[in-house]
Structures are given as structure tokens and as C-alpha cells.
Chains A and B, each alone.
Chain A
Amino acid sequence: MRDNLKDFVNANRDAFDRKEPSADLWNKIRPQVVPQVEEKKIKPLWRWASIAAATLLVGTAAFVIFNQEKKDDRMDRVAVWKSSPVQQKEPEEMLRPSQQEIVAEAEQKESIRSIQTMTSKQKTHLVANRTAQKIAVEREEEHEKDYMQMLQDSVWASTRLAAVLALQKQGNLKKDETRALEKIAVSDESSNVRMAAIETLLDGMTPEVRQQKVQDFFVAQNDPTLQVELMQMIAQRDEPEMKNSTKDKLNAIVEDPFTLKFVKEQAYAVLLQQ
């Protein structure tokens, strides 16, 4: 059977298709359906700028290094000149570098070489040795000052710790060093630094003095880590008696409800031992 409607539609298909969606429609839908992808911004300028900057950097670095080398070169030459006046001048004058340099700079390099002798070389050697020793002593003093300064560093615990350990290695503490360390042993905010300071101070003490010091330090500590360490040292003492302040501190630790269990046990152990 023929379907009249179908025929009709087929015949007039073009007429039915006249309502097309507008070309703009997809653009309206698109932002709702497809999430906006941020376009990658390519910054070619930066790449070029960075290359230019890098070149500049390398250039300046090279310039600076080259300049320095030149300077070094000049210094070397001055050093060579310095050796010349030795055999002409009195030894007192040798120690005056400014004068020496002025004279040296007035001399011609070639002539200097020709008049150099063994004795002059020996003399310069001597002078060089003496200055080297002087410099070494000065440096040592500087180091000591450095350690004292490092001990005052309030920001970096590692700096203070390094200074304490350096003093420990150096040994033979001076008065001001001992004083500074004692302050640190009691009041430094880092337990690690306090511990190192205490150990440094105890190093090389006789057992009796050491024990007194240990008890003094113990009374001043509120950190359980150090308390336990020091209590163990107190437990190792030879004489049975303890300072009263130490006993008070131990009792305070035992009575404090917030004391950690193992700290309390250690305190009991020390108290019972006497």
C-alpha cells in the first residue's frame, strides 16, 4: 500500500528543511558544555630576554674575573718588587710596608732581578715568616672572637652549637669563654646547645668539681631530656650526699603531675639512692 503522507513528505523535503539552526548557536552553547580552556600564553619575549640576560651575566662575570686576575697579576709584581729593597735598606725600614712599596714601585723590574742575591732572599724569607706568624696569631684571636660572637647568635642554633663544639675541641677555656658557656648551659633556648655547652664545661673537671657543677646545671633545667641526662650523672656520684637545691628540684619533679613517667622514675631512683 502506498503511504500518501510519506510520498508527500519525500516530495516536499526541501520545504520542511527550511528552518535551520542559526550558525551562531554552537558558539552560544559551547561555553556551557565545553569547559573553558585557558589558552597557553607563549611568551617568546621572556625566552629572548633570558638569553640576553644570561649572556650579559656571563659577560659581566667574565669581566669581573678578568679584572680580578689583572689585579692579582699586579699584586704579584708588587710582591716581586718588595723583595728588592731588602739588601739596600736597614731591617727597621723593611717592616714599613708603605715606604717599601713606594720605593719598590719606583724601581724598574728588570734592574731588580739583576741585583737580587741569596742573602736578600733569605732576609725576605725571614720577614715573610715573621709576618706569616703574626697573621696566624691574629687569625687565631679573630677565631676566638668569632666563637664568642657566634655564641651570641640568637637566630641560628646551629651557629651557637658549632661555636660550642669548636671551643670543646680547642680546650683550655678562657674565663670569658667559660662565662659565656655557663650562660648558654643554663639559658639557651635549644636543648641541644645547652647539652653541648654543659659537656664542654664538664670536660676535664675533677670528679668532685664535676659533680657539683652537674647538680648546679640540673637545678636550672626544665627540659626532661636534659633532666634525665643530668640525673644519670648525679646517680653516678661517689659521695652519698647531695646538695639541698638538688633534692628540692628532684622532689619538685616527683610531685609535678605533668612530669613524664620515665623522668619521674629516674628522679625516684636518684632520691632513693642516697
Chain B
Amino acid sequence: MGAALIFASAVQAQITENAEGVVPPKAPKPPRAMRGAGGNSENRVWKEIKIPNLGEKLLLKFDNVSIEGYNGKEVVISAKVEEKEENDRAKGLRVVNGSGLSDNSGMGMNIQTTSGVTEVSVVGMPLEDVVNVRVPYNLPVSVKGRGGFFNGSGIEVKDIRAEVEISSTMGDVKVTNVTGPLSVKVAQGDVIAKFVQPVKGPISLIAAMGAVDVAFPVKFGANVDMKTSMGNIYAADEFQFENPVEEPKNSYIMSNTVKGKMNGGGQDVILKTSMGDIYIRSQK
């Protein structure tokens, strides 16, 4: 019977593959070989690679990335890279850096899978343009920005039904249509999260200097722990708070804390910012 089950699941996998073939996969945002329109980016082209031997979790170690889940099985990275090595002096040499990682992807990235985690890091200078990554929608994703002070320009994650973990130093973090669990930490930048589907906790969104702006489905219940030290907490009428913990009595403390049940309680939700406002909207 076990063999029959294995056979059945194999056939099912085939079916889903077929089904995928019927609906043409969405074209990746950038055309594969579109030449940059800008003056100084003329020698850069979109390059696309598929990650071989994918682990059960994806870890990206760079900022400035847009991740989108899709109904497929492969991780596809497309980035705008130098078409050919312009640097004559570097001819015949390879890029070496302190991490000991080498470019094994042909686009300035090191990709390796160890104990189930596929790690992608940028070797050498970070890329100037946003890197697009398409991942199977059920693959857990973790982004750890390198903490770039000069070109950190945001992280975007969309359509993922698995755990997402993001930590960055600078730039906004935008998360859309992710089921959770979700944890985001950014030092300087806003955290914007939109939950469309039922949410699975824990959710932890932390900004040091920036707003935390989150939209939940209308009847979403949660055990919330919200704190802003220099800012307000704004919530839509759909979200009611029961027995919030009383605020600290000292009047000189500026912090604003709401801890308790929202809409009767449910998933654990932590929203925090040290300098900024917190917004809770209803996703319609």
C-alpha cells in the first residue's frame, strides 16, 4: 500500500507540473535581455539564474531585493549585472573577499546549500539595481541585509505562504500577502505589512526609527504588544482592544504602550518602534 501511495503522490506531482505548464508562468518583471536605458548602465544586462539543489529554506544576505512567491518549484534570481568584464586589469583574476566566498553563479553571487538552508550572498560590491527573486510560494525565506549604509534601498516580499524573516539596517521593508509567521527588524526605515489571507503568528515587526504600518484582515484577533516611544498608535475602528495593560504611571515617560487582546485575542502580534508611529489598518 505504501508503494501505491508513493506512486500516487508521484503522479500527483506530475499533475501539478502539468497544470503549471497549462497556465503560462508570469513573465518575470524585467525582460531577460533588456538593455538598460540609462547612460551609464548601458553595459549592464538582466541575467537570470536558477538555483540548483534548493534547500528547504532560502537565506539571502543582501539588501535591495524584491522577492515574489509563485506556483513553481525553482528559485529564479534575475539581476542587472555587467555584461562582460570591462576591467582589463582584473582579466584572468577572480573576486576575492574576506568571507572566502567565490562567485559561483556568474552574476557576482555565491550560492551554497548547507544543512537544508540555501544561502545566497553577494561577492564583492553590491549590485546597484534591485535583484528580483522568484521563489516557490511555500518556501520559507529569510533576508539578512548586509547593513549597507550607502545603497540600502529596501526589501520587498510578496505572496509567500511560509515563514518570512527580514532584518535590515536601512531602507523600507514591504511585505504583502504573506501568511506568517513573520518577523521584521529594520533600524532606519518603515515596516509596511499587508496581510490578505488568514494570519499565522507569531508576527513581530520592529523598527527603530520609522513607522510600523500594518493591515490585517477585518476580523483578525490577536494578542498584541505594541509600543512606540515617540509617536502615536493609530487603529481602524474594526479593531477593538480589551483590557489593555495600564500605562506606566511616571508622567515623564513618553512611551505609548498597548498590550492586550485585540478583537478577542488570537495570534501573537508584536509591533514596535522607538521613534515613529504605529498604524493598524483593516485590509478590505
Do A161 and B204 contact each other (CB < 8 Å), given the known contacts A53-B12, A155-B117? Answer: yes
**Which residues of chain A come closer than 8 Å to B183, judged between CB atoms?**
157-158, 161, 190, 192-193
Do A224 and B208 contact each other (CB < 8 Å), given the known contacts A236-B250, A236-B253? Answer: yes
A266 to B188, CA, bound (A): 14
B134 contacts A by Cβ under 8 Å: no
B176 contacts A by Cβ under 8 Å: no
The listed residue (B11, B187, B223, B268) touching A223 by CB distance below 8 A is B187
Q: How far is the CB of A171 from chain B (nearest CB, A)?
A: 13
B37 contacts A by Cβ under 8 Å: no
B1-55 interface (Cβ within 8 A of A): 1, 4-5, 7-8, 11-12, 14-15, 18
Interface residue tally for chain B (C-beta within 8 Å): 48
**Which residues of chain A come closer than 8 Å to B223, judged between CB atoms?**
169
Please name the residue on chain B nearest to A224 by beta carbon: B187
Q: Please encode chain A, from 238 to 268, with 1 for each CB lying within 8 Å of some chain B CB and 0 for all others.
A: 0000000000000000000010101100100
**Which residues of chain B come closer than 8 Å to A258, judged between CB atoms?**
149
Could you say which of B5, B7, B142, B202 has the most chain A C-beta atoms within 10 Å of its C-beta? B202
Please choose the segment from B66-74, B84-92, B161-169 that sits at the chain A interface, where 4 or more of its residues have CB less than 8 A away. B161-169
Determine chain A's interface SS by DSSP, over half rule.
helix
**Which residues of chain B come closer than 8 Å to A199, judged between CB atoms?**
225
Please name the residue on chain B nearest to A166 by beta carbon: B268
A148 contacts B by Cβ under 8 Å: no
Do A191 and B275 contact each other (CB < 8 Å), given the known contacts A50-B12, A229-B208? Answer: no
**Which residues of chain A come closer than 8 Å to B149, judged between CB atoms?**
258, 260
**Which residues of chain A come closer than 8 Å to B188, judged between CB atoms?**
224, 260, 262
B171-189 interface (Cβ within 8 A of A): 180-181, 183-188
A184 contacts B by Cβ under 8 Å: no
B209 contacts A by Cβ under 8 Å: yes
B201 contacts A by Cβ under 8 Å: yes
B218 contacts A by Cβ under 8 Å: no
**Which residues of chain A come closer than 8 Å to B142, judged between CB atoms?**
157
Whether B14 lies near A50 (C-beta < 8 A) is yes
**Which residues of chain B come closer than 8 Å to A158, judged between CB atoms?**
163, 165, 180-181, 183, 202
Whether B15 lies near A229 (C-beta < 8 A) is no
Whether A224 lies near B202 (C-beta < 8 A) is no
Whether B270 lies near A49 (C-beta < 8 A) is no
A129 contacts B by Cβ under 8 Å: no
Interface residue tally for chain A (C-beta within 8 Å): 37
**Which residues of chain A come closer than 8 Å to B57, judged between CB atoms?**
155
Q: Please encode chain B, from 223 to 239, with 1 for each CB lying within 8 Å of some chain A CB and 0 for all others.
A: 10100010000000000
Please name the residue on chain B nearest to A194 by beta carbon: B185
B158 contacts A by Cβ under 8 Å: no
Whether B208 lies near A56 (C-beta < 8 A) is no
Whether B270 lies near A262 (C-beta < 8 A) is no
Whether A225 lies near B15 (C-beta < 8 A) is no
Q: How far is the CB of A167 from chain B (nearest CB, A)?
A: 12
Q: Please encode chain B, from 257 to 275, with 1 for each CB lying within 8 Å of some chain A CB and 0 for all others.
A: 0000000000010101011
The listed residue (A155, A190, A224, A229) touching B169 by CB distance below 8 A is A224
Whether A191 lies near B163 (C-beta < 8 A) is no
Whether B206 lies near A225 (C-beta < 8 A) is yes
A161 to B206, CA, bound (A): 13
**What would be 5 A-B contacts, judged by CB atoms less than 8 Å apart?**
A56-B7, A60-B8, A156-B163, A229-B208, A236-B252
Which A positions have Cβ atoms within 8 angstroms of B?
A: 43, 46, 49-50, 53-54, 56-57, 60, 63, 155-158, 161-162, 165, 169, 190-193, 195-196, 199, 223-225, 228-229, 232, 236, 258, 260, 262-263, 266
Which B positions have Cβ atoms within 8 angstroms of A?
A: 1, 4-5, 7-8, 11-12, 14-15, 18, 57, 116-117, 140, 142, 149, 163, 165, 167, 169-170, 180-181, 183-188, 201-202, 204, 206-209, 223, 225, 229, 250, 252-253, 255, 268, 270, 272, 274-275
Known: A56-B8, A236-B250. 17 other contacts (CB 8 A): A54-B8, A54-B12, A57-B12, A60-B5, A60-B8, A157-B142, A158-B180, A162-B202, A193-B183, A223-B185, A225-B187, A225-B206, A228-B209, A232-B229, A232-B255, A236-B253, A260-B188
